[in-house]
Amino acid sequence: MQASRWALMLAMALGAAAAQAKDLVLLNVSYDPTRELYADVNRSFAAQWQAAHPGDRLTIRQSNGGSGKQARAVVDGLPADVVTLALAYDIDAIADHGLLAADWQKRLPDNSSPYTSTIVFLVRKGNPKGIRDWPDLVKPGVQVITPNPKTSGGARWNFLAAWGWALKQPGGDEAKARAYVETLYKHVPVLDTGARGATNTFAQRGVGDVLIAWENEALQARQELGADRFEIVVPSLSILAEPPVAVVDKVAAQHGTQEVAEAYLKFLYTPQGQEIAARHYYRPRDAAVAAKHAAAFPQVRTFTIDQVFGGWRKAQARFFADGGVFDQFKPGTP
Amino acid sequence: MRRRILPGFGLSLGYALAYLGLVVLLPLAALAWKASAIGPGQLLHLLAAPRTLAALKLSFGGALLAALADGAIGLLVGWVLVRYRFPGRRLLDALVDLPFALPTAVAGIALTALYAPNGWLGRWLEPHGLKIAYAPAGVLVAMVFVGFPFVVRTLQPVLESLESDVEEAATTLGATRAQTFLRVIAPVLLPTLLTGFALALARAVGEYGSVIFIAGNLPMKSEIAPLLIVQQLEEFDYTGAAALGTAMLLVSLLLLLAVTLLQRWSRRWAEVRA
Amino acid sequence: MSAAAAPRGARRWRSRAARAGLVLAALGFMALFLLLPLAAVFAEALRQGARAFLAAIAQPEAGAAIRLTLLVAAIAVPLNLVFGVAAAWAMTRFEFPGKALLGALIDLPFSVSPVIAGLVYVLLFGAQGWFGPWLAAHGLQVIFAVPGLVLATVFVTLPFVARELIPLMQAQGGEEEEAARTLGANGWQMFFRVTLPNIRWALLYGVLLCNARAMGEFGAVSVVSGHIRGLTTTMPLEVEMRYNEYDYVGAFAVASLLALLALVTLAAKSLLEWRYGHEIAARATGARR
């Protein structure tokens, strides 16, 4: 009796996923720090869509986690209609399994990245160690907090920003860039597995003198954890972080959600969408919206990953793959 | 002999095997199958790398130490909880399960908050050169925490069923406290203590959620083996992850088997004494 | 008479001192190792007052997470209960080749890293896994849905009941059951009238532990969840997500609820013990030859 009830419940739970697909349900699989951004986007977009299509019942669901882990989940069958991740490499991995076209990044403007960010430093109030630019990070006695680039997408941007800066210095070359980044990681006492973990180690546990972080992360952390406790330092040269978005063709076709999924991503490029992105500390692409928020985002010279490293696939294989450059470093050993 | 008298051998063993097969062995077979796709060269490269070896050493060495500590502390706490009546005993009894009930991530965060240089405990320990959070000692603390209830909870029922009149008889017959413990109690408790030890060990070896918060995760120093598996996964290298996972599992299985054999031997020893 | 009383008094005093020492040592350890982390959880949860705590719990996602956690535990625990009793019976009442191996196999899920425990089900039921294509063709979702959460939880908590029962049933031996059989009881009568009453407290312990761990499991569940807010996030996952959003009060509020759930189940156990206390005592003295 008891056993058959459980069996019935199990069967119902199994069947539930199959029965739900009728309504217009959009699943956005995203990375960690975007929850509030997309909570706002979802609300505004749903209102807009509902106004234009009064017959529809649109529900937008949200999934957040580490970028690489999220990409893996989609490959393994998490039914994402759209993905909005931290780096193009993770969406490439989904494309490699045939879930969307290999040239996905050309389908939307600006490398399919409706908003951008860059890498900055978060320091403690008053900047006691006098951190102004990249060379200050490797001064004796300075402790740097950055997550492990092997487990954190955000940390890969940090790594590449440091490398790119060193490369572009007068007389800079690959050997010097490598030496700088290797030294930098010797100043890292804790390698957290994710960007949020690193922020918490720095802010909550009081470890380290400087946190290397995405600008939107640094701004949000400062906002949430106390504007009077931290300062943001913008380096002389940094990387343009482009978190990409894409429709997962195969899943959307199955769900019959292509139209709404595409409209959802295009909404991000509208002034309204750009405004929401700016409010959540991402740099908008739209010139008018950017001008309006110019005070929040200081001027910074940036380079792109394509310019310096020839794209994500090359950078990944060279630096972060098993036996790659990062594996040859000995972090935390001064 | 017994087999003829007591019923249900086929049913119970059959059901247990079928369930184990479906829930544990089939999934693990999928893991082994995935791992088998790895070439011998890649396997050697993976397992013999100094970094992997250092991580395995930390995971297994740390787990052994933690399980030993759990054994000693668990025996003490289990004994006190079962034998003595004092105010607050029930509350303590309930607290024992905390490491099970707290999600491992929460345990990790709470322990890190306590032992970090600015934490309640860390601020007293750090000035004395005792670095626990973000050091190998932190790994040990987290492992002791997650394994602790295993020892207490396996010991408790046996301690409760242990008849204190046997001890009383021993005392009446002139045995000292130490003699009573060594000759009467220890032989009965030892197999159970070994079970608790083995469970705490097994749990600590694989622990991930609580350890990564407190460890510092520096390669060659405070990086545990499960973290290496996660790193393989981040590269979409399921084969490497499965290979590393299978290797860890085989070592764990051998350890558990050794403890089971040790247990049988100690039980036989207890029977001989009795 | 008085000559004999003196050493006995000294012995009693020494025994009392030893007892106090042991209790203090145990108390000290528990305070340092268990009470302090628990206090830290509640301190963080209540840092901004009771109102913030309640607001954090009142969010609809928290409700969904609590319901999902209870559902998963309600399926996983009974499954492992039946398995535990069957396995313990086979292991402690019969001799058969490979018994040591079976014992090790039962413990195996404890030693499987949670990371791997989740991964194995991805390898079986994921889109790239053994049964993935078949499931997709039939429109069934196992991982990233409730069945996957249940499977991962069953895997992780499988050994608890069996492990609790085996040492006790080993210590008890099968004589009482043999006697029942000799007196003409059939198998189920023997089980319900002799075995079950003898093991009920260990069984209860096992179920409570299994339940606590089922509700608190994080690593394995995290791999198969998909983290869809309000749909596939259990309480531990909700805790992690909120922590990652710098919502510390929210994270620790949900975590303290989990700790409270565990404490409540243990309070229930204490209540049962108190309610049926005389009955157990009577049975225990009766059982003693």
Tens of pLDDT, residue by residue over B227-243, are: 999 888 888 889 999 99
- Residue B105: per-residue pLDDT: 81
Domains belonging to chain C, first-starting first, are 50-287 (1.10.3720.10)
The CB-side HSE value for A162 (13 A sphere, CA atoms) comes to: 28
C262 pLDDT exceeds 80? Answer: no
Containing domain of residue A32, as a range? 2-113+242-269
**CB pair distance less than 8 Å for C228 and A27:** yes
Examine the domain organization and report whether A67 and A201 are in the same domain: no
Please, which residues 37-96 of chain A have a Cβ atom closer than 8 Å to chain B? Answer: 68-69, 72, 75, 93
Q: Which residues on A lie below 8 Å from C243 (Cβ)?
A: 196, 200
Distance CA B244, CA B250 (A): 10
Examine the domain organization and report whether A17 and A95 are in the same domain: yes
Examine the domain organization and report whether A131 and A231 are in the same domain: yes
Q: Which residues on A lie below 8 Å from B213 (Cβ)?
A: 197
**CB pair distance less than 8 Å for A6 and C75:** yes
The shortest C-alpha distance from A195 to chain C (Å) reads 9
CA distances from C143 to A7, A251, C128, C151 (A): 18, 16, 12, 9
- Residue B172: per-residue pLDDT: 73
Residue A323 near chain B (CB below 8 Å): yes
Nearest-CB residue to B234 (from A68, A207, A333): A68
Q: What contacts 24+ positions apart, CB below 8 Å, involve A96-99?
A: A97/C127, A97/C128, A98/A250, A99/A74, A99/A75, A99/A248, A99/A249, A99/A250, A99/A251
Examine the domain organization and report whether A223 and A160 are in the same domain: yes
Eight-class DSSP state of C195: I
Nearest-CB residue to A64 (from C141, C231, C241): C241
Q: Select from A332, C249, A146, C44 the least CA-distant residue to B112.
A: C44
Q: Which residues on B lie below 8 Å from A204 (Cβ)?
A: 113, 116
**Helix pair angle (B104-115, C36-45), 10° resolution:** 100
Nearest-CB residue to B77 (from C26, C154, C174): C26
**CB pair distance less than 8 Å for A61 and C241:** no
Q: Which residues on A lie below 8 Å from C145 (Cβ)?
A: 13-14, 16-17
pLDDT-based confidence at C233, cuts 50/70/90?
very high
**CB pair distance less than 8 Å for B232 and A322:** yes
Give the contacts of A51 (CB within 8 A, at least 6 positions apart). none
With CA atoms as reference, the chain A residue closest to C136 would be A77
Examine the domain organization and report whether A58 and A185 are in the same domain: no
**CB pair distance less than 8 Å for C127 and A221:** no
The shortest C-alpha distance from B43 to chain C (Å) reads 18
Average pLDDT over residues B37-50: 85
pLDDT-based confidence at B192, cuts 50/70/90?
confident
Which position has the token pair 């290397």?
A: A212
- Residue A5: per-residue pLDDT: 53
A132 found inside a domain: yes
Give the contacts of C249 (CB within 8 A, at least 6 positions apart). C44, C45, C47, C48, C52, C53, C56
- Residue C11: per-residue pLDDT: 67
Examine the domain organization and report whether A208 and A251 are in the same domain: no
Nearest-CB residue to C75 (from A9, A18, A75): A9
Bridge partners, B10 (sequence order): none
Eight-class DSSP state of C228: B
Examine the domain organization and report whether A80 and A127 are in the same domain: no
Nearest-CB residue to B198 (from C107, C121, C218): C107
Examine the domain organization and report whether A109 and A125 are in the same domain: no
Q: Select from C83, C88, C287 the least CA-distant residue to C176.
A: C287
The whole-angstrom distance between residue B109's C-alpha and the CA centroid of its chain comes to: 20
Distance CA A247, CA A50 (A): 20
Distance CA C221, CA A27 (A): 20
A291 found inside a domain: no
- Residue B4: per-residue pLDDT: 57
Domain count, chain A: 2
**CB pair distance less than 8 Å for A193 and B212:** yes
A288 found inside a domain: no
A17 found inside a domain: yes
Examine the domain organization and report whether A34 and A101 are in the same domain: yes
Please, which residues 219-258 of chain A have a Cβ atom closer than 8 Å to chain B? Answer: none
**Which residue blocks in B36-135 are alpha helix, DSSP H?**
40-47, 50-83, 89-95, 98-101, 104-115, 122-125
Q: Which residues on A lie below 8 Å from C248 (Cβ)?
A: 204
The CB-side HSE value for B150 (13 A sphere, CA atoms) comes to: 31
Q: From the candidates B235, B238, B239, B244, which should be mutated to test the interface with A, based on the most A CB atoms within 10 A?
A: B235
B23 found inside a domain: no
A289 found inside a domain: no
Distance CA A185, CA B2 (A): 65
- Residue B101: per-residue pLDDT: 74
**CB pair distance less than 8 Å for A190 and B232:** no
Could you tell me if C66 and C74 are in contact, meaning their C-beta atoms sit under 8 angstroms apart? no
C203 pLDDT exceeds 70? Answer: yes
Burial label for B68, CB within 10 Å (0-12, 13-18, 19+), is middle
Please write the tens of the pLDDT for every residue from B138-151. Answer: 999 999 999 998 89
**CB pair distance less than 8 Å for C218 and B103:** yes
Distance CA A213, CA A86 (A): 13
Q: Select from A83, A69, A94 the least CA-distant residue to A38.
A: A83
B12 found inside a domain: no
B15 found inside a domain: no
A278 found inside a domain: no
Looking at every residue in chain C, the average pLDDT score rounds to 86
**CB pair distance less than 8 Å for B248 and C107:** no
Average pLDDT over residues B18-43: 91
Q: Which helix (H) or strand (E) holds A157?
A: helix A153-167
pLDDT-based confidence at C279, cuts 50/70/90?
low
pLDDT means per 10 residues, chain A with 334 residues, are 50 44 82 91 95 91 92 95 96 95 95 97 96 96 95 93 96 96 95 90 93 94 89 96 96 94 97 96 96 93 95 94 91 78
**Helix pair angle (B50-83, B238-273), 10° resolution:** 40
Please write the tens of the pLDDT for every residue from C40-93. Answer: 899 989 999 999 999 999 988 899 999 999 999 999 999 999 999 999 999 999
Which position has the token pair 């545990």?
A: B224
- Residue C246: per-residue pLDDT: 84
B26 found inside a domain: no
Q: Which residues on A lie below 8 Å from C138 (Cβ)?
A: 18
Residue B172 near chain C (CB below 8 Å): no
B66 found inside a domain: yes
The whole-angstrom distance between residue C136's C-alpha and the CA centroid of its chain comes to: 34
**CB pair distance less than 8 Å for C113 and B248:** yes
Residue B138 near chain C (CB below 8 Å): no
**CB pair distance less than 8 Å for B24 and C155:** yes
Q: Select from B274, B244, B272, B252 the least CA-distant residue to B32.
A: B244
The shortest C-alpha distance from A284 to chain C (Å) reads 22
**Percent of chain B scored above 70 by pLDDT?**
94
**CB pair distance less than 8 Å for C230 and A194:** no
**Neighbour tally for C240: CB within 10 Å:** 25
Rg (CA), chain C: 24
**CB pair distance less than 8 Å for A331 and B218:** yes
B1 pLDDT exceeds 70? Answer: no
The residue among A219, A252, A269 that closes a domain is A269
Residue A195 near chain B (CB below 8 Å): no
With CA atoms as reference, the chain A residue closest to B229 would be A151
Q: Which helix (H) or strand (E) holds A185?
A: helix A174-186
With CA atoms as reference, the chain A residue closest to C141 would be A17
Looking at every residue in chain B, the average pLDDT score rounds to 86
- Residue B237: per-residue pLDDT: 87
B22 found inside a domain: no
Containing domain of residue B198, as a range? 41-273
The shortest C-alpha distance from C196 to chain A (Å) reads 18
Q: How many CB pairs under 8 A join A and B?
A: 71
Please write the tens of the pLDDT for every residue from C156-198. Answer: 999 989 988 987 898 888 889 999 999 988 989 999 999 999 8
Q: How many CB pairs under 8 A join B and C?
A: 314
Tell me the two tokens of residue A164: 């790119």
- Residue C289: per-residue pLDDT: 29
Nearest-CB residue to C108 (from B24, B102, B107): B24
**Neighbour tally for A264: CB within 10 Å:** 27
Residue B143 near chain C (CB below 8 Å): no
The shortest C-alpha distance from B252 to chain C (Å) reads 6
Examine the domain organization and report whether A233 and A100 are in the same domain: no
What's the CATH code of the domain at B198? 1.10.3720.10
Neighbouring chains of A at 3+ CB pairs within 8 Å?
B, C
Could you tell me if A121 and A222 are in contact, meaning their C-beta atoms sit under 8 angstroms apart? no
B32 found inside a domain: no
What's the CATH code of the domain at A247? 3.40.190.10
Please write the tens of the pLDDT for every residue from B83-105. Answer: 888 887 877 887 888 887 787 88
Q: How many CB pairs under 8 A join A and C?
A: 95
ipTM above threshold 0.95 = no
With CA atoms as reference, the chain C residue closest to A197 would be C244
Q: Which residues on B lie below 8 Å from A196 (Cβ)?
A: none
Neighbouring chains of C at 3+ CB pairs within 8 Å?
A, B
**CB pair distance less than 8 Å for B103 and C26:** no
B61 found inside a domain: yes
The whole-angstrom distance between residue A321's C-alpha and the CA centroid of its chain comes to: 19
Phi/psi at A25 (5° precision): -115, 125
With CA atoms as reference, the chain C residue closest to A37 would be C245
**CB pair distance less than 8 Å for C145 and A17:** yes
Which position has the token pair 């069945």?
A: C147
**CB pair distance less than 8 Å for A320 and B116:** no
**CB pair distance less than 8 Å for A35 and C228:** no
The shortest C-alpha distance from A76 to chain C (Å) reads 5
Distance CA B86, CA A11 (A): 49
Q: Which helix (H) or strand (E) holds B131?
A: none
Examine the domain organization and report whether A313 and A190 are in the same domain: yes
Examine the domain organization and report whether A318 and A194 are in the same domain: yes
Phi/psi at A121 (5° precision): -110, 140
Domain count, chain B: 1
The shortest C-alpha distance from A15 to chain C (Å) reads 7
Angle among Cα B125, B129, B131 to the nearest 5 degrees reads: 65
- Residue B96: per-residue pLDDT: 86
